[in-house]
């Protein structure tokens, strides 16, 4: 079946068409209109600007997604849309657009949780991947472990107690003067530095599957500000490498604990931060050591996109999940 899907929870307006069945998980089109350049001027996402930009982009990218897939609305079997979590004004754009499109054309509407969508991105890359498995979603707004019991049901078994990993990467990038969002630039910089140069506090919280990134974030900001005040040179590569090392090590040891706790032998890493080469390497080497299988979406599907919403929308549809005219957006 063909699923037309929408995503507008943060600063990407996205529309995709996926062809999904028991045996096929195919992306026919996946259009992302990014607002990153606009928000970069402010060093972070400005919610009001995000909502307006979604409104301006959504019709155009819907035409693009359908025409790239060589389909019309008549071919579409279901419409899927992210209803939360995210910025309320931003979410409302795709929710209302999808509602109008679905009900005016008599197409079933399926509400999709953004976090489940990030996990479903891995189904599109790894056609053999099936639940149950352990998932770690690391994005700009979330960092949590999930026991993924089936395609549609999951339990959170650990989480950050404050900031998300992506937020921590972005703030570290900002203090180092890197372009917003800093995650990708930090990844590249970290490859060129000495990861043992500076000791930053670990984001790992003992005796739990939880993280705390706020101490690490403050520590890197203080390190850079103190150096600047003293007029001392900063080796950005060493800061990025040392910062990334404590995160990768914490993630590696928490994944190890989570594997032991759940008894699973499959690990999915998802969300924008799952593009990080150092974190991927750390989990991959742990999985090899433990005889577990490691799955992560291809890089283009790690960040926010609508194909992942279409993939999850398919499994929700099969499970009988439908939205009516009262569907609303849920920020958290």
- β-bridge partners, 136: 145, 269
Distance CA 137, CA 144 (A): 5
Interhelix angle for 214-230 vs 236-262, to 10°?
A: 170
According to CB under 6 A, which one of 4, 10, 53, 216 is a site residue for ligand KG4? Answer: 10
CB atoms closer than 10 angstroms to residue 107: 18
Nearer to ligand KG4, 84 or 183 (CB): 183
C-beta of 170 vs 238, nearer to ligand KG4? 170
Indicate the residue among 8 and 252 with the shorter CB distance to Zn ion: 8
Task: Sort 249 into a burial class: Cβ within 10 Å, 0-12 / 13-18 / 19+.
Answer: middle
Cβ atoms of 93 and 100 within 8 Å: the answer is: no
Site for ligand KG4 in 290-309 (CB under 6 A): 303-304
The reply to whether 7 sits near Zn ion by the rule CB under 5 A is no
DSSP state of 301: G
Which of left, alpha, beta for 145 (phi over 0: left; psi -120 to 50: alpha)?
beta
Question: Counting contacts by CB under 6 A, is residue 91 touching ligand KG4?
Answer: no
Q: Applying CB under 5 A, which of residues 45, 304, 308, 309 lies at the interface with Zn ion? A: 304
What is d(CA 187, CA 293) in angstroms, rounded to the nearest whole number? 24
Cα–Cα distance between 165 and 143 in angstroms, integer?
6
Length in residues, the chain: 332
Binding residue for ligand KG4, selected from 84, 89, 111, 181, defined by CB under 6 A: 181
5 binds Zn ion (CB under 5 A): no
Q: How many residues bind ligand KG4 (CB under 6 A)?
A: 20
- Name every residue whose Cβ is closer than 8 Å to that of residue 226 and which is 6 or more positions away in sequence: none
How many Cβ atoms from other residues are within 10 Å of residue 34's Cβ?
15
Determine, following the binding rule CB under 6 A, whether residue 184 of this chain makes contact with ligand KG4: yes
Is residue 212 within the footprint of Zn ion (CB under 5 A)? no
| 276 counts as binding Zn ion under rule CB under 5 A | no
Is 275 one of the binding residues for ligand KG4 (CB under 6 A)?
yes
Min dist CB 264 to ligand KG4, Å, is 23
111 vs 271, which CB is nearer to ligand KG4? 271
227 binds ligand KG4 (CB under 6 A): no
User: Please, which of residues 98-157 interact with ligand KG4 by CB under 6 A?
Assistant: 139-141
Judged by CB, which is closer to ligand KG4: 102, or 245? 245
Please state, in angstroms and rounded to a whole number, the distance separating the CA atoms of residues 214 and 201: 10
User: Which positions lie near Zn ion, rule CB under 5 A?
Assistant: 139, 304
User: Which positions lie near ligand KG4, rule CB under 6 A?
Assistant: 10, 139-141, 166, 169-170, 181-184, 186-187, 271-273, 275-276, 303-304
């Amino acid at each position: 079946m063909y699923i037309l899907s929408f995503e507008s929870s943060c600063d990407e307006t996205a529309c995709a068409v996926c062809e999904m069945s028991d045996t096929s998980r195919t992306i026919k089109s996946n259009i992302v209109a990014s607002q990153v350049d606009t928000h970069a001027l402010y060093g972070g996402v400005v919610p009001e600007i995000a909502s307006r930009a979604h409104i301006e982009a959504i019709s155009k990218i819907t035409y693009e997604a359908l025409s790239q897939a060589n389909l019309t609305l008549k071919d579409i079997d279901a419409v899927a849309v992210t209803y939360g979590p995210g910025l309320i004004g931003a979410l409302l754009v795709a929710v209302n657009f999808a509602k109008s499109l679905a009900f005016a054309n008599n197409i079933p509407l399926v509400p999709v949780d953004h976090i489940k969508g990030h996990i479903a991105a891995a189904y599109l890359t790894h056609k053999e991947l099936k639940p149950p498995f352990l998932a770690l979603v690391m994005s700009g707004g979330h960092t949590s472990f999930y026991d993924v019991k089936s395609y549609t049901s999951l339990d959170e078994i650990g989480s950050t107690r404050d900031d998300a990993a992506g937020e921590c990467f972005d703030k570290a990038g900002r203090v180092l003067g890197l372009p917003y969002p800093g995650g990708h630039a930090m990844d590249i910089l970290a490859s060129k530095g000495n990861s043992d140069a500076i000791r930053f506090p670990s984001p790992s919280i003992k005796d739990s599957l939880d993280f705390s990134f706020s101490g690490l974030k403050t520590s890197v900001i203080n390190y850079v500000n103190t150096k600047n005040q003293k007029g001392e040179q900063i080796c950005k590569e060493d800061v990025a490498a040392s910062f990334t090392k404590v995160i990768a090590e914490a993630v590696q040891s928490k994944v190890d604990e989570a594997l032991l706790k759940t008894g699973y032998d499959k690990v999915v890493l998802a969300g924008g931060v799952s593009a990080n080469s150092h974190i991927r390497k750390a989990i991959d080497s742990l999985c090899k050591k433990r005889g577990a299988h490691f799955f992560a979406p291809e890089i283009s599907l790690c960040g926010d996109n609508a194909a992942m919403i279409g993939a999850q929308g398919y499994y929700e549809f099969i499970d009988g999940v439908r939205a009516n005219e009262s569907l609303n957006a849920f920020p958290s």
